[in-house]
Amino acid sequence: SYELTQPPSVSVSPGQTASITCSGDKLGDRYACWYQQKPGQSPILLIYQDTKRPSEIPERFSGSSSGKTATLTISGTQAMDEADYYCQAWDTSTVLFGGGTKLTVL
């Protein structure tokens, strides 16, 4: 098994770009997904297959992957983007989550 590591917190000013990383030994061989979770709400899928975005997700959310690190990028961050973000990947037949990153927009 391997672990997914995210920074506990990231801060960004409104209108700027926020980047949240997710690192793991097997990420180069696995696709990553990203979820957004606001307080008291269930998770929402933002990105899948490293870079794909569901049609209902705003274009300012994008994903990328290089080596053993997947990255979620939020361009033109808005106050409404303040939330917890989780990466997720698979290890053979089990599901892994990163510890989550709290994004603060200030």
Instruction: Say whether residue 97 binds other proteins (CB under 8 A).
Output: yes
The answer to whether the beta carbons of residues 103 and 81 sit under 8 Å apart is yes
How many residues touch other proteins (CB under 8 A)? 24
CA atoms within 13 Å, Cβ hemisphere of 8:
0
For the chain, the C-alpha Rg in angstroms (whole number) is 13
Q: Which stretch binds other proteins (CB under 8 A): 19-27, 60-68, 73-81, 94-102?
A: 94-102
Q: Is 86 in the site for other proteins (CB under 8 A)?
A: yes
Site for other proteins contains 49 (CB under 8 A): yes
Shortest spacing between CB 77 and other proteins, in angstroms: 22
- Member of 5, 21, 25, 45 binding other proteins (CB under 8 A): 45
DSSP symbol at 100: -
Using CB under 8 A as the binding rule, the residues of this chain from 23 to 42 that contact other proteins are 31, 33, 35, 37, 42
Instruction: Report CA torsion sign: 51, 57, 84, 16.
Output: positive
Q: Tell me the CA distances in angstroms from 100 to 15, 19, 55, 56, 81, one per residue in order.
A: 22, 13, 24, 22, 15
Q: Contact positions toward other proteins, by CB under 8 A? A: 31, 33, 35, 37, 42-45, 48-49, 54, 84, 86, 88-90, 93-100
